[in-house]
Amino acid sequence: MAFLADALDRVKPSATIAVSQKARELKAKGRDVIGLGAGEPDFDTPDNIKQAAVEAIARGETKYTPVAGIQPLREAIARKFKRENNLDYTAAQTIVGTGGKQVLFNAFMATLNPGDEVVIPAPYWVSYPEMVAICGGTPVFVEAGIESNFKLTPEALDKAITPKTKWFIFNSPSNPTGAAYTRAEVKALTDVLLRHPHVWVMTDDMYEHLVYGDFTFTTPAEVEPALYERTLTINGVSKAYAMTGWRIGYAGGPLNLIKAMDMIQGQQTSGACSIAQWAAVEALDGTQDFIPKNREIFQRRRDLVVSMLNQANGLECPTPEGAFYVYPSCQGLIGRKTEGGKVIATDEDFVSELLEAEGVAVVHGSAFGLGPNFRISYATSEALLEEACARIQRFCASLRA
């Protein structure tokens, strides 16, 4: 009898974590490696947020917290949803988890039965299908390719929905592509969902504040209030507030779903770190002045990377509306050979040979469900990005027919 659970057969390790680990290992061996795999802002957590944590420690806020979060944070989350998204959630309709990942996972655990389907636009964040699989559901992938700027069309969504569909996952701005949906594009999708009342919407709004130019962020329950009762709106403090290591995610949704997620979390981890929760109160309620400044820096980096990649032989890089990723196609290089004679047959070959030849670590697109592409995180300095893109240009130029 096998000792490990059958569920593990349905799950793959995270490709993004694997790339970051490989880059660290090569650096430890003395290789000059530029890692562009991690989805993590390079900015430090703002001082007012760090100070709130210090004060919480000094006050002795070091005990277990309620499973669903401390009341001041749940109230701050409700205020945030009202202020920024025009969504009315009571504090009781919110829940705090150890990062957005736990919130997503608990929602699936609370709702999925074997055979239930979850519609996931591809390319997708690597953890969505694995979470669905662990929880016994069936991921249903719907391609949103470069021809539609990596955005799902209403027709494709409608076609993917069956009587077994329980959830539709909506991530805008997107990891891995940076694509963000306009209000009209969101409305076109919510119009489809109104015709399928058995389907719930799980929105991952983690990159909400990282949108560029005159783009305006909207979320499904805000655009279509009729979906309010079957939408779980998920967010967190990791990206906009540079608080990845603090591990605080949160959600607002119908009370019965929040209670079910609370019950699961109570048997799993209980409440998130007390100090991190007090820091998150300050993040949501305190000054937001640094967000536009950080956004400006990210936009400059995006423009630099898109420009340089589009000058590389065989690459095509659309300009994304948000997040801190680009998702260039390397279709024009498939079938070419490296100087050592290795054929680039897939995007995985491309990123592997790029790392070997030039010491640039990126993530292959097929890990996100759509290739031949690769994902670059531009959450690092302009100097490093310029050097990395110059190396990518050199590598692309070295490939021969």
pLDDT value, residue 122: 98
User: What is the pLDDT at residue 19?
Assistant: 75
Q: Is the domain of 214 the same as that of 327? A: no
Q: Are 128 and 139 in contact (CB under 8 A)?
A: yes
CATH number at residue 40: 3.90.1150.10
Q: What is the pLDDT of residues 92-109, one digit of tens each?
A: 999 999 999 999 999 999
SS3 per-residue string spanning 70-82: CHHHHHHHHHHHH
CB 360 within 8 A of CB 380: no
- Whether the per-residue pLDDT at 15 is higher than 80: the answer is no
How far apart, in whole angstroms, are the C-alpha atoms of residue 106 and residue 251? Answer: 11
Task: DSSP letter for 373, please.
Answer: B
Q: Does residue 178 surpass a pLDDT of 90?
A: yes
> So what's the pLDDT on residue 13?
78
| Token pair in block for residue 356 | 């070997």
Domain count, the chain: 2
CA distance 119 to 162: 10
- As a whole number, mean pLDDT of residues 165-172 equals 98
pLDDT band at 194 (very low <50, low <70, confident <90, very high): very high
Rounded average pLDDT over 367-395: 97
In the numeric block, the tokens 């403090």 are attached to 237
Distance CA 389, CA 384 (A): 9
pLDDT digits (tens, 9 = 90+) for 18-65: 777 878 888 888 889 999 988 899 999 999 999 999 999 999 999 999
373, 347 contact by CB (below 8 A): yes
At 196, is the secondary structure helix, strand, or coil? coil
Backbone angles phi, psi at 259, to 5 degrees: -65, -40
d(CA 232, CA 255): 10
- Structural tokens at position 114: 């074997």
pLDDT tens for residues 328-361? Answer: 999 999 999 999 999 999 999 999 999 999 999 9
Q: What confidence tier does 137 reach under pLDDT thresholds 50, 70, 90?
A: very high
Question: Could you give the maximum distance between any two Cα atoms of the chain, in Å?
Answer: 66
- Whether 203 is covered by a domain: the verdict is yes
Is 229 contained in some domain?
yes
29 is a domain residue: yes
259 and 137 in one domain?
yes
Shared domain for 262 and 296, answered yes or no, is: no
Q: Which residues of 228-262 are buried (b: 16+ CB within 10 A; e: fewer)?
A: bebbbbbbbbbbbbbbbebbbbbbbbbeebbebbb
Q: Which domain holds residue 129?
A: 62-285
Q: Distance (Å, rounded) from C-alpha 305 to C-alpha 299? A: 10
Distance CA 75, CA 73 (A): 5
Q: Are residues 343 and 297 in the same domain?
A: yes
What pLDDT is stored for residue 2 in this prediction? 85
Task: Judge whether 199 and 168 are in contact, CB under 8 Å.
Answer: yes
pLDDT bucket at 318, cuts 50 / 70 / 90: very high
Residue where a domain terminates, one of 226, 261, 285: 285
User: Rounded to whole angstroms, what are the CA distances from 246 to 47, 100, 273, 274, 348?
Assistant: 14, 11, 8, 10, 32
Domain edge (last residue) among 285, 320, 349: 285
Chain centre to alpha carbon of residue 355? 24
pLDDT category of residue 186 using cuts at 50, 70 and 90: very high
Kindly report the CATH number assigned to the domain that includes residue 164. Answer: 3.40.640.10
pLDDT, position 58: 98
For residue 17, pLDDT over 80 is answered with no
Q: Residue 326 class from Cβ within 10 Å (0-12 exposed, 13-18 middle, 19+ buried)?
A: buried
366 and 267 both lie in a single domain:
no
Average pLDDT of the residues in 297-317: 98
Among 265, 285, 305, the domain boundary falls at: 285
Please spell the DSSP secondary structure of 29-40, one letter per residue: TT---EE-----
Instruction: Answer whether residue 401 is part of any domain.
Output: no
| Same domain, residue pair 280 and 297 | no
Q: Are residues 208 and 306 in the same domain?
A: no
Q: Which of 112, 86, 123, 46 is nearest to 371 (CA)?
A: 123
The confidence score (pLDDT) of residue 195 equals 98
pLDDT for the residue 26: 83
How far is 353 from 346, CA to CA, in rounded Å?
11
Same domain, 309 and 188: no
Tell me the pLDDT of the chain averaged across its residues: 96
3-state secondary structure of 397: helix
Indicate whether 68 and 19 sit together in one domain.
no
Is residue 152 over pLDDT 90?
yes
Task: Decide if 54 is inside a domain.
Answer: no
pLDDT of res. 7: 82
Q: What percent of the chain has pLDDT over 90?
A: 91
Residue 87 pLDDT greater than 80, yes or no: yes
Q: Is residue 18 part of a domain?
A: yes
Instruction: Look at residue 50 and tell me if it is in a domain.
Output: no
- Residue 53 domain flag: no
Task: Report yes or no on whether pTM surpasses 0.75.
Answer: yes
Mean pLDDT, rounded, for 206-228: 98
How confident is the model over 246-274, as pLDDT tens digits?
A: 999 999 999 999 999 999 999 999 999 99
Same domain, 281 and 295: no
**125 plus 256 within the same structural domain:** yes
Residues 253 and 351 in one domain: no
